[in-house]
Structure 1
Amino acid sequence: MSVIQAQTDEPIPLWAYAWSTQPQPGDTARPQIPPSRDLRPGDDPDEIYEMWTVEGSSATYSRMDTRDGGNVIDWFPGDHPPMTDLMRHGPESLRGVVGNRGCASCHLPNGKGRPENAPPAGQPVEYTIQQLKDMRDGLRYSADPRKPNSPTMNLLAAAMSDEEMQEAAEYFAAIPWTRWMYVIEAELIPEMHLEEGNMYVTVGTEATEPLAGRIVETPVDEHQANYLRNPRSPWNVYVPVGSLAKGEELVVNGGEGKTIQCGICHGADLMGLGAVPGIAGRSPSYMMRQLYDMKKGTRNGTGVALMKPVITNLNVEDMTNIVAYLASIVPPPAPNDVQ
C-alpha cells in the first residue's frame, strides 16, 4: 500500500464530525427533527413559552420561537442585511413541507454558522453558488454517513432555484467575517459532553479531560448559544499543544514541500481571493471535515481539483495542525463591529 493510500484510509477524525465511535457498514444519518411549533415529548409548556431577552437586543423570544427553524428569529437585525423570506423561511418550493427551514436557522442570521455546519458569511458569491450547485448535484456529501445535517442541506440545495442561490450567496457575502472564537492550546480541558453528531458542550469547570489530539469547539455560554441561539455568543476552541506552530509552518511555508502555501490561492491574509473562499478565523471542525472529505472523495466539484495537490501528502495530524492555526488567525475588525 502506498503512503498516499495509507493516509487516505486513516480513520475519520471523530472530533470534527462530533462522534465518539467510527461509522459502521450500513450506517446512515438519522433524520433531523423538523422545525415546527408543536410541543415535543418532555416539554414544559410554561418553560417553552417563557419570553427571553439577550444583552444588546430589544427583541424578546420564547424557546418555542428560537427552535422554530421555519420562521427564524433575529436578535440583532443591525448585524446583517435585512433577512429575506429565503433566510427566514427557506426555499419557496418547500414552504409548507415538513423539514423545510430558513437558511439562517443553521447558519445564523449573521452567517457565522456553528461547528456542525458551514460559516458562509464573507464568502465570495461565486463560491457559495458553486457549493450549492455541487450539493444539488450530489457532488458534496459527508465522509461520515451518520452526519445528520448533510442530507438536509443537500435536500434544501436541490429545492433552491438559481435565483435563490444567487440571493443567498449575495446575502452572506455582504456580511464581513469577524472574530468568532478564542483558540487555546491545551493538554487538559474541562469535562465535555458530546452531543453525538452535533457539538461538544462544556460541563466541567476544572481542566481534567485529556484533549488527546482532538480539536474541541464548545460554546463559551451554552445557554446563550444553544438555548437562545444568540448569534453573538462566542466559542472556545481547544487545540493540541504545539499545533499552532506546526500548522503555521504548513500554511505559510508549505512544510518543506509537503503541501502548497495556502496564501497562494486564498490570499495573503487568507481571507479569500476572487472566487476562492476565506479560511482565516473559521471553524476548525468545518475546515477539517472539508479537507478529510476531499481526501476520501466525498467532496467533489469545481475547486476540489485545485485542492488535490494541497492535501495529497497530508495526514490527519497535519490537517489538524493546519485548521488549528487557521482558526487562531484573528480576522480584521469590520467597521462598526459590535461583536
Structure 2
Amino acid sequence: MRIATLAAVAVIGMAVNATSMAQTQSPTPASAPPSSFPAWAYPWVPDFKVTPADDVPQHVPDSTASFTIKQERDLFFVPDWHPEDHPAMPDVVAHGRMPDVRACGSCHRAAGTGGPENASLAGLPAAYIIQQIADYKSGARKFAGPQRGPSVLMTAIAKASNEEEIKAAAAYFSALKPAANIKVVETDTVPVTQIARVFYMLVKDGGSEPIGQRILETPVDAAQFEHRDTRSQFIAYVPKGSIAKGEALATTGGAGITTPCITCHGPDLRGVAPIPGIAGRSPSYLVRQLYDFQQHARAGSAGAPMGPVVEKLSHDDMISLAAYVTSLTP
C-alpha cells in the first residue's frame, strides 16, 4: 500500500511514530494557556520516502474512473473520482495556472473536502475564503507551528493568484455541501500510528498505546485517501470526556474560560454568513487554528474577535472544543 499523502507532495521523508511526536510536548496545566505548541496537531516529516510514481491505473470504491500515481502527484491536476458529487470545476480549481498557482482541488479535493493536513473549504462563505486569501497575500495570516509544506505552499499560491481566480474558486467551494466524513471516538487507547509526511496512518499490527493529551485523526483507508478520493472517511480518537467538556465550553464559555462559540458561529455552529461554519471539520485543523490565533499568527480580520476567545485556552481546552465541534453534523 502506498502511504504518502498526495495533497501537497513536494518533498517526502521517513516515518515518525505519533507517540514520539506527542512526547516532545511539556505537560500543561488545564488552567493555563499553553506555552509550547501542540506538536501532535502539526505532523510534518518532510523527507518521508514513497515508492516512485508509475503509470499503473489506480481505482477507488464506487468509481469507474482511473488515474495513475503520476497524475495524482501532479499539483496542476485534480483526480475527479466522483464528478457527480459536485458541479463543474472552474479552471483554477481543476488545473490552476502554471507555474505558481497550483490547482485548488489538488490539495482541497474536487469536492472541497480537504484533509487533516489542510482545510475543508466546502460550504465556507465566499467572502470568508476571499478574505483568507487576502490575509495570506498580505502576511496577516501565518502559522505558529513548524513550516509545514501545506502552509508554505498555500501562502505561495495565494500570493500568485489573481482576483478573477480567487473569486472563481471562492464561488465554487462556497456552493458545495460540507461532508460528514469524520467519526469521533472517545477512548483511553489508540492504534499505534506513524506520520506519512503530513498525516497519521495506522501501523499494521502495531498494537495500541495510551492516547495521552492529543487527538489522533487518521483516514480509515490510507490508500483511498492517498488517491485523493473525496469520499474518504476518517476517525478522530479523542480522550474520554472531552466531547462533554467541549460542549460546555462551546455553549457556555466554561465559566469565563472563553466566549461561547455559538455566539458567533451560530447555535448549531454551522456558521452565520460571513462567519464560517465549524461543525464537523477536522479536529487537527481546528486545534491548529485555535493555537495560531492564540499566538497571534492569524492577525487578519478574524484575529481581533478571536483573540479574547482563545486567550485563556489550555491544550486540554483546545482538544475538548475540537472533539465536540467535530462530532457535530456540518
TM-score, length-normalised on structure 1?
0.84
Q: Mapping of 1:243-262 within 5 angstroms?
A: 243-262=242-261
Greater RCO structure (CA 8 Å; 6+ sep):
2
**Match of 2:37, as an amino acid?**
I
Aligned to 2:292: 293
More divergent stretch after superposition (64-73 vs 130-139)? 64-73
| AA of the residue aligned to 2:151 | S
- Quote the offset at 1:306 in angstroms: 0.8
Structure 2 CA distance for aligned equivalents of residues 202 and 299 of structure 1? 32
Aligned to 2:210: 210
Distance 2:50 2:265 in 1: 47
SS where residue 121 of structure 1 aligns?
coil
Distance across 2 between alignment mates of 1:324 and 1:200: 17
Q: How many residues align?
A: 301
* TM-score w.r.t. length of structure 2: 0.86
Q: Which runs of 5+ in 1 are unaligned?
A: 21-29, 34-39, 332-339
C-alpha distance in structure 2 between counterparts of 1:19 and 1:225, whole Å: 17
Distance 1:56 1:193, change over 3 A: same
Instruction: Compute the displacement of 1:10 (Å).
Output: 1.5
Q: What does residue 144 of structure 1 align with?
A: 145
Q: Is the 8 A contact 1:140 1:299 kept in 2?
A: yes
Partner of 1:104: 105
Aligned to 2:224: 224
In 1: Cα distance, 2:219 partner to 2:233 partner: 6
- Where does 1:30-41 land on structure 2 (aligned, <5 Å)? none
Asked whether the equivalents of residues 42 and 146 of structure 2 are also in contact (C-alpha less than 8 Å), the reply is no
Q: 1:42 to 1:306 in 2, by over 3 A?
A: closer
CA separation in 1, counterparts of 2:181 and 2:303? 26
Aligned to 2:187: 186
Name the CA distance, whole Å, in 1 between partners of 2:218 and 2:149: 19
Partners of 1:52 and 1:194 in 2: CA distance: 23
Q: In 2 relative to 1, CA 65–296 (structure 1 residues): closer, same or farther, beyond 3 Å?
A: same
Cα distance in 2 for partners of 1:74, 1:123 equals: 21
Residue 35 (structure 2) aligns with: 10
1:64 positional shift = 1.4
Between the aligned partners of 2:164 and 2:206, the Cα distance in structure 1 is 50
Tell me the residue number matched to 2:317.
Answer: 318
Looking at structure 2, the residues matched to 124 and 89 of structure 1 have their Cα atoms a distance apart, in angstroms, of 22
Following superposition, the deviation at residue 205 of structure 1 comes to: 5.0
Distance 2:95 2:57 in 1: 22
Residue in 2 aligned with 1:240? 239
- The answer as to whether partners of 1:186 and 1:239 remain within 8 angstroms in 2 is yes
Task: Tell me how large the CA RMSD over aligned residues is.
Answer: 2.2
- Structure 1 residue matching 2:254: 3-state secondary structure: coil
Correspondence list, 1:72-91, <5 A: 72-90=78-96
More deviation, 210-219/58-67: 58-67
For the residues of structure 2 that align with 1:288 and 1:162, how far apart are their CA atoms? 30
Where does residue 125 of structure 1 map in the other structure?
Answer: 126
Q: Is 1:43 aligned to 2:26, yes or no?
A: no
Superposed, which structure 2 residues align to 1:155-194 within 5 Å?
A: 155-194=156-195
- C-alpha separation in 2, matches of 1:206 and 1:224: 20
Deviations 1:20-78 (A, max 9, x none): 9xxxxxxxxx6x99xxxxxx99527xxx2111222222211111122212121111111
- Quote how far apart the aligned CAs of 1:206 are: 7.0
1:330 offset after TM fit, Å?
2.2
CA shift, 1:8, in A, is 5.0
Relative to 1, partners in 2 of residues 1:9 and 1:281: Cα closer, same or farther, differing over 3 Å? Answer: closer
Cα distance in structure 1, aligned partners of 2:35 and 2:50: 40
Is the CA contact (8 Å cut-off) linking 2:34 and 2:314 kept in structure 1? Answer: no
Instruction: Report the CA distance shift for 1:252/1:206 in structure 2 as closer, same or farther (over 3 A).
Output: farther
Change (3 A) 1:211 1:257: same
Preserved contact between residue 190 and residue 205 of structure 1 (Cα < 8 Å): no
Deviations 1:294-339 (A, max 9, x none): 11111111021111121122111111110111011123xxxxxxxx
% identity of equivalent residues: 41
